Amino acid sequence: MATALPTLPADVTDAQDAVAAVAADLARIDTVARHAIEAARSGEAGPDGPGLLHVLIDAATERPEYTDRLIRDELVTLLVAGHETTATTLTWLYLLLDRNPAAREQALTAGVDGSPQRRQAIQALVHETLRLYPSAWILPRHATEDDTLAGYAVEAGTDILVCPYLTHRDPELWPDPEHFAPRRFTTPDGRPSHPGAYFPFGIGPRACLGVQFALRESTVLLEHLLPAYSLAFSSTPTKAVYGITVRPDGPTPATLLPQS
């Protein structure tokens, strides 16, 4: 896990250069965010009308805690945590369907459009994708008190890395763990009962606040996309790359094919 963690650019050679590199990246982010906030504040709306950024700006007129800094932080959090993660998950899902085309048909034939049965089957596609490629593949945690973990003494103040990616592929928890099998999440006793066996959004009081948003967003998109289109990939990745998220190791060009 540690060797796969993101590193600074190769041309960064000392601490001072590292600080400067990070500061430059943050400055670029701040510039983009500032322009977006100014455009929204001036009344500029997107093609579908006002968005969440406008809601935040409107809230600032009544709630003094909604400073420009807080609005900037909310915007960047939404883009980083609520955009790339969902997009990457759907990319992996379609790559998995490309290798397992029967899974798409099973989801669509589980029920008619809009039925609870189809929605459950589509949600199972999402859950099985998140099992194999969890958006948050590694989670840092901080021990606030002494404890024992799997027989190892953990002192208070210790930083711990928890890895859903490895847990979700543990054969002692998940039979045939490398196999894409969405029915694990629709079949009784198809998934482990232990609550720590599946946690793509973390677990406990520090779990991701956006879990329901992400699942709902992915499900709604797939309810519209799966029946109407399929994807034909020009090339597919050979492996995964581990950064902030788990993503394919290269471009995944594809053709969108309408379904009759």
**Amino acid at position 88, single letter:** T
Query: What whole-number percentage of the chain has pLDDT above 70?
Result: 91
Out of 94-98, 182-186, 196-200, 247-251, which region has the weakest mean confidence (pLDDT)?
A: 247-251
Measured between alpha carbons, how far is 43 from 73 in angstroms, rounded to an integer? 20
Q: Is the pLDDT of residue 188 over 80?
A: yes
32-61 per-position pLDDT tens digit:
999 989 888 887 666 666 777 888 888 888
Structure tokens at 106: 């099973």
Q: Is the pLDDT of residue 20 over 90?
A: no
> Which amino acid makes up residue 95?
L
pLDDT at 46 (0 to 100): 65
pTM: 0.80
pLDDT of 53-100, one tens digit each? Answer: 888 888 888 888 889 899 999 888 877 777 778 889 999 999 999 999
Least confident of 87-91, 100-104, 161-165, 242-246: 242-246
- Indicate which residues carry an active-site annotation: 85, 201, 208
Report long-range pairs for 199-203 (Cβ below 8 Å, ≥24 apart): 199/134, 199/164, 199/167, 200/130, 200/131, 200/134, 200/135, 200/136, 200/164, 200/168, 201/134, 201/135, 201/136, 202/136, 202/139, 202/164
At 171 the three-state DSSP class reads coil
